[in-house]
């Protein structure tokens, strides 16, 4: 089934971005919001994307207006009566999504694919609100949708292979990099990212190093930005909510650091609010942020309250944890080794020169990685316990680059 017309529910930043890239590919889009005011904001969000293209002389004002005519704004589900695909992109609140999917199921033709842009919620649970679970699928775009290449395609328990192939084909036609991810809490990218970010917050909370020291150390290893700069960019509330989903799904090995809640209670939600781990109120939109004594005091007060022994920080503390999680996802067949590497580079910005986390493990040496994880397990806790596949590989002599066989083969 080809996609000749699409719908998007939600005209916020993500929804508008998704509608724009689909329409720009030549597919007309019906964009729905709850009222005219929200709908107008959504349309203006799309126009802003095109305005930037006009400013860069990559589009003429006349072409802009032609593109805008491909968007049909509406507040009615009835206007989805002839669409081939609808993508829901509303806040991560399950009850809202269930209500939307029930309404879509009633309004759309029986062969219409119903997709959700959720970054963490259960696809199968959402599909259960419909009479077409075989046609319900996760299609997780990354922010900003018009720039980020990665798309996670997540089938639910009853999603058909045909549905998965249709959305993969669509993503490729949008010049995206789709990867198939089996359903699990956090899917692939967020499942890898959140333990990495949480470990940085734990290291800070435990007095292992300062915000600036941790950020600088991780940038020095090749990451495009430090973990605290990234948290501020994403939003502390968004990260904390994703962390809760993973904690619920995987138990105490992903228990969030107490400092998340402390900063949320202080209304420090990141760059969008002017303050997060850094203070952004002194400069403009490109302000990199400055250290803040208010955060330093909050950390000191929390350390006094928790009375936790001071721990040590090295970049390996964060890297060992995220690599181990990548191995766990491979072990559980959440994605293939190649898809994991694509997800890490295209979704997390891990430097392409390093080829991904599993390649990093091969370069380090599987035996070295296991020893590192065992040491951190003894020092910091069971969240570092090595994936059993790592011990199997070590015992079999598949040690990575040095033996020319690890997660990948080396000639």
- pLDDT band with cut points at 50, 70 and 90 for residue 239: very high
- The pLDDT tens digits for 148-205 are 999 999 999 999 999 999 999 999 999 999 999 999 999 999 999 999 999 999 999 9
Residues 407/387, Cβ–Cβ less than 8 Å: no
Residues 363/401, Cβ–Cβ less than 8 Å: yes
* Segments in 277-404 forming alpha helices (H): 293-306, 315-331, 337-348, 357-364, 366-380, 388-396
Q: Quick one: fold of 315-403?
A: 1.10.1040
What local confidence, expressed as pLDDT, does residue 160 receive? Answer: 98
Does domain 6-180 sit in CATH 3.40.50.720? yes
What local confidence, expressed as pLDDT, does residue 370 receive? Answer: 98
Tokens matching residue 28: 């007309």
Q: How far apart are CA 242 and CA 193, in angstroms?
A: 10
- The pLDDT tens digits for 18-74 are 999 999 999 999 999 999 999 999 999 999 999 999 999 999 999 999 999 999 999
Identical fold at 189-306 and 315-403?
yes
Q: How far apart are CA 155 and CA 115, in angstroms?
A: 10
What local confidence, expressed as pLDDT, does residue 284 receive? Answer: 65
Q: What is the mean pLDDT of the chain?
A: 95
Q: Is the pTM of this model over 0.85?
A: yes
Could you give the residue numbers annotated as active site? Answer: 140
**What are the residue ranges spanned by the domains of the chain?**
6-180, 189-306, 315-403
CATH number of 189-306: 1.10.1040.50
């Amino acid at each position: 089934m080809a996609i000749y017309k699409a719908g998007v529910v939600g005209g916020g930043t993500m929804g508008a971005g998704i509608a724009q890239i689909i329409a720009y590919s030549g597919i007309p889009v019906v964009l729905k919001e709850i009222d005219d005011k929200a709908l107008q904001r959504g349309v203006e969000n799309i126009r802003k994307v095109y305005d930037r293209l006009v400013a860069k002389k990559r589009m003429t004002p006349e072409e802009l207006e032609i593109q805008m005519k491909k968007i049909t704004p509406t507040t009615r589900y009835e206007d989805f009566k002839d669409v081939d695909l609808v993508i829901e992109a509303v806040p991560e609140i399950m009850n809202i999504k269930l209500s939307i999917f029930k309404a879509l199921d009633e309004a759309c033709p029986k062969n219409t694919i119903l997709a959700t842009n959720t970054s963490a919620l259960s696809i199968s649970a959402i599909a259960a609100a419909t009479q077409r679970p075989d046609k319900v699928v996760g299609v997780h775009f990354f922010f900003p949708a018009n720039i980020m290449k990665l798309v996670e395609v997540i089938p639910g328990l009853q999603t058909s292979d045909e549905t998965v192939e249709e959305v993969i084909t669509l993503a490729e036609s949008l010049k995206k990099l789709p990867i198939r991810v089996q359903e699990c809490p956090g899917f692939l990218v967020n499942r890898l990212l959140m333990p990495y970010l949480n470990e940085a917050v734990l290291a800070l909370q435990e007095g292992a190093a300062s915000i600036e020291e941790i950020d600088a150390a991780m940038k020095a290893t090749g990451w495009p930005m430090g973990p605290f700069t990234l948290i501020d960019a994403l939003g502390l509330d968004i990260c904390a909510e994703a962390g809760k989903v993973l904690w619920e799904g995987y138990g105490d090995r992903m228990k969030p650091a107490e400092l998340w809640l402390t900063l949320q209670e202080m209304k420090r939600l990141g760059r969008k609010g002017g303050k997060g781990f850094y203070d952004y109120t002194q400069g403009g939109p490109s302000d990199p942020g400055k250290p803040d004594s208010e955060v330093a005091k909050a950390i000191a007060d929390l350390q006094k309250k928790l009375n936790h022994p001071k721990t040590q920080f090295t970049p390996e503390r964060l890297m060992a944890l995220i690599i181990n999680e990548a191995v766990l996802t491979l072990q559980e067949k959440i994605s293939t080794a190649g898809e994991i590497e694509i997800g890490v580079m295209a979704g997390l910005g891990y430097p392409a020169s390093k080829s991904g986390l599993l390649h990093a493990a091969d370069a380090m040496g599987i035996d070295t990685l296991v020893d590192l994880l065992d040491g951190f397990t003894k020092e910091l806790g069971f969240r570092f316990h090595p994936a059993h596949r790592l011990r199997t590989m070590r015992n079999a002599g598949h040690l990575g680059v040095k033996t020319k066989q690890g997660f990948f083969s080396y000639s």
